Chains A and B, each alone.
Chain A
Amino acid sequence: MSSPEDGGVTTDARNRIFARIRAALDVDPEDQSGHRVVADRLRRHPRGTIPLRARCHGEQAIRQFADMLTKQGADLSRVANPAKAVGAIGSYLGSNNLPPRLRMGADAVLASLPWKEAWDIERSFGPASPSDRTSLSRAVVGAAETGTLFLVSGEDNPTTLAFLPETHMVLISAADIVGSYEEAWNRLRSIYGSGALPRSVNLIGGPSRTADIEQTIVRGAHGPRRLHVLILG
C-alpha cells in the first residue's frame, strides 16, 4: 500500500505484481470460486498429519515435554505446589550464584505465588532492561511434541524478559501442557479469537545457542545462557 514515506512507489508495484501473478495463474480476479476456496481454508484451518509423538496428554505429555526441554539444554524443575515453585526459584538463583532479584510482568498466576516465603527475593515489574540479570515469565501453553514453550507478549509477560537477561525462568502449569502445536494454536484462538494473535508469540525450546563457528554448539549467543523451566502441578 502506498504511503508518504515510500513516495507512493509501492501501489504501482502492487498493481504490477498482482497483474503478473494473475496472468501467470490465468485467473480472473472477479471469479468467485477461488475466493471461496481461500476463505474456507482460512476459516476452517484444517490440520495436517499430527505426529504420533504429539498425540499424547496428561502425565505422558508432561514427561515428554520435560525430556525434550532437558535434551535441548534447559534446566527443569517439577514443583507440586506454588510454595515449592517459589522455593525452587530461590534455590536456582542461589545455586547459580545469581543475585536474589527478578524482573517480571503483571501475570496473575505469577503474582499469586506465595512470595512472602521467599522474602529475600526482590521483585521488580515491567519490561527487561539490559541491566536485568534474571527474569521470570509464564508460558500460556506448551507443546510436548518438541518441548516448546509458547510465550505471548503483553504487560503480563513482556517479550524482552525472554531475550535480554542472561537467565530466564519460565513457569508453566502442568494443565497447560498439550501434545501438538495445533492444540496450542487452538488454545491461543480461545484467548485472542480466530484469525488474531498478540503482537508476539515466541516459541522457545531452550537457551540461546549458535553453531555458526565450525558447527560447534555454544550456549548464550545473544539471548539467555540459561533457561530454567518450572512445571507447576
Chain B
Amino acid sequence: MASSSGSFTSNARKALADAELQRALQNVRRGFILKRETAVETLPEFDRLRAEARAIKDHTLGHLDLYLEAYEEKVNESGGKVHYASTAAEARDTVLALCRAAKAKRVTKGKSMVSEEIGLNAHLEGAGIDVVETDLGEYVLQIRGEAPSHIIAPIVHLNKEAIEVDFRRAHRALPSTRKLKSVPDLVAEARAVLRERFITADVGITGANLLIAETGTSVIVTNEGNGDLTSTLPRVHIVIASIEKMVPTLEDASTILRLLARSATGQEMATYTSFATGPRRDDDPDGPSAYHVVLLDNGRSEMLGSVFQDMLRCIRCGACLNHCPVYGAIGGHAYGSIYPGPMGAVLTPALQGIEHARDLPNASSFCGRCEEVCPMGIPLPKMMRAWRERDFAKGDPPLRQRIALKVWAYTAKRPLLYHALAGAIMPLLAWRAGRSGRFSRFPFGKSWTKTRDLPAPEGKTFHRLYGKAKRSSSS
C-alpha cells in the first residue's frame, strides 16, 4: 500500500492549513456523529449486543484455524474455491492469476479496504487489465489518482465543486453545457458512466464484511448496489478478504450486522446486505459461473495471541474515525496510511512495522472516545500506548524526546521531589503570566503557542488544594 505515514507531522500541518479540507471535514461531525447517536438511542439493547459481538469474535479468533477449515469445506461444497495468501504480494499475484485464467480484459470492483491494503489496482493495471472502481466515492478517487481518506466514506475530504472538475476532465463525452452543480447531478453522471462498465466486465472483485463458516458465505454491506452488480453480472466473482472477517453462524452475523450500520452511518441497516455462496447453480439464470475467495493474512496471524489481538475484532465501521478529535482536525490522508484514525493507528504499525508508522499511535490525546463508541469494544487507547512503549523500548524516538520523557519519568516516580518541584514552579508561572493568565510565548512550547496561548497555572498545585479542602472539611 502507498504509505507516507513517516511524514505525519508535515502532512498534519498541511491539512490544518487546507481550507477546502477543513470545510469538508465539518460534514463528518454533522453527518456521522449525530446519526449514530440517534440510531444507538433507538435500540435499547445496543450495549448488550456489543458485549455479545465481542464474545463472538473472541470465540472465533480463539478457534480461527478450525473455523477457517469449516468455512473452506463449505465453500468447496457450494462449488467455490478458497485461495490463501500469506502476504500482500501473494494476494496480488493470486488475483492476477485468476483474472488471467478467466482471460479478463475488464474488471469491476466493489469497495474493498483489503484491496487498497495490498495495492491491487496498480498490479492489475500493470498487467494490462482495465480496472474500474464502482463505489461512487472510490470511483472519484480513481479518476483523481488518490487514496481513500476514510474507511467507509472515502471522499469525505472532498467538496462537490472539486468532483465536478474531475468529471469534466475524465468524462470526455460529457457536453460542457450539462449541469453538474448539484449532488444528484453528479450521482446521475457517475451512474450513467459506470452502467456500461458493469455490463461489459469479465471479472467482478468485491471485499467482504463478514465470512460465515456455517454456510461458506461472504457478506457485503452497501447502500449503492454497486457491490451486487459487481458480484452478479461478470462471469467470475473474486472475493478478497482478510482471515479475521470470519464468524461462525448466520445468527452471529446477525448480531454483528445489528451493530455495523448503526455505528457506521447511523442507519438501522444498510440498504443492501448480500450473502454470496458459491457460483451460479444449475437452475440459476444469472450470477457468476465461478466464485473464488482469496483469504489474506498479511500480519494478522502475528497479532493473534499478542497484546494486539483485540484489534482483530474490528468490523471497519469507522466510528472511531468519526469521533476522533485528531481525525476531525486533519482528515484521513495526513495519516499516510490506508487505515487512518485510531483503528489505523493500531493496525498500520502491525501491518507495516512500528518503525514505518511511529507517529500514528502518538497522534492521539487519549480522550477515549474511540473506545467508547467502538461497537466491538476494542481498547484502542491501550493498544496505542502499547505501540508507544514498544517504540520507546526499541530506542527509536529522537534523543530530545527520550531525554524529556526520562526526566519526566524520574520526577513522576518520586512524589516528594515531584511535589517540591511543582510547588515551586506553579506559583512562579502564575506570577510570570500575571493578570492575563496565559502565555503567548513559552520556552520549548513554540509549536503550542504559535497557534494559541498556553493557559498558565493558577498558582497552587492540585495536591495542595486537595489537601487544604480535606483539612477544612474534616475540621
A127 to chain B, nearest CB (A): 4
Q: Which of B63, B83, B228, B255 contacts A6 (CB 8 A)?
A: B83
Flag if A17 contacts B251 (CB, 8 Å): no
Residue B352 is within 8 A (CB to CB) of chain A in the complex = no
Query: Do residues A212 and B136 form an inter-chain contact, with CB atoms below 8 A?
Result: yes
- Is there an interface contact between B305 and A42, defined as CB atoms closer than 8 Å? no
B43 interfacial contact with A, CB 8 Å: yes
A112 to chain B, nearest CB (A): 20
Residue of A nearest to B288 (CB): A199
Give the A interface residue count (CB, 8 A): 87
* Chain A residues with CB under 8 A of B295: 17
State the CA gap A160–B225 with chains docked (Å). 11
Interface residues of A in 56-107 (CB under 8 A from B): 68, 72, 105
B297, A20: Cβ atoms closer than 8 Å: yes
A223 to chain B, nearest CB (A): 3
Count B-side interface residues using an 8 Å CB cutoff.
112
Interface centre among B101, B191, B198, B233 (most CB of A within 10 A): B191
In the complex, residue of chain B having the shortest beta-carbon distance to the beta carbon of A5:
B101
Of B265-273, B383-391, B430-438, the one contacting chain A is B265-273
Of B121-129, B171-179, B212-220, B457-465, the segment with at least 4 beta carbons within 8 Å of chain A is B212-220
| Chain B residues positioned under 8 Å from A155 (CB to CB) | 283-285
Provide the bound-state CA to CA distance between A204 and B270, in Å: 8
Taking a contact as CB atoms under 8 Å apart, the answer to whether B183 and A182 are in contact is no
The stretch of A23-31, A113-121, A132-140 that contacts the partner chain: A23-31
Which among A47, A154, A182 is the interface contact of B281 at CB below 8 angstroms?
A: A154
Contact flags (1/0) for B279-296 with A, using CB distance below 8 Å?
Answer: 111011111000000010
A201-216: contact bitstring with B at CB < 8 Å (1 yes, 0 no)?
A: 1111111111111111
B187: contacting residue among A10, A20, A163, A210, CB under 8 A: A210
- Name the B residues within 8 Å of A47 (CB-CB): 251
Residues of A within 8 A of B45 (CB): 49, 51-52
A124 adjacent to chain B (CB < 8 Å): no
B66 & A38 in contact (Cβ 8 Å cutoff): yes
Q: A residues engaging B (CB < 8 A)?
A: 1, 3-7, 9-11, 13-14, 16-18, 20-22, 24-27, 29, 34-35, 37-39, 41-42, 45-49, 51-53, 68, 72, 105, 126-128, 130, 146, 148, 153-155, 158-160, 162-164, 180-182, 185, 195-216, 218, 220-224
Sample 24 A-B pairs with CB under 8 A, ordered by A number.
A1-B81, A6-B94, A6-B98, A9-B90, A21-B64, A25-B65, A38-B248, A41-B248, A45-B214, A51-B43, A130-B199, A185-B251, A185-B254, A196-B78, A197-B277, A199-B278, A204-B272, A205-B269, A213-B137, A214-B27, A215-B153, A215-B156, A220-B191, A222-B194
Q: Which residues of B does A touch, CB under 8 Å?
A: 24, 27, 30-32, 43-45, 48-49, 52-53, 56, 59, 62-68, 70, 72, 74, 76, 78, 81-86, 90, 93-94, 97-98, 100-101, 134-137, 140, 153-156, 158-160, 163, 183-184, 186-188, 191, 194-195, 198-199, 213-215, 217, 223-226, 228-229, 231-233, 243, 248-252, 254-255, 257-258, 265, 268-281, 283-287, 295, 297, 301-302, 304-306
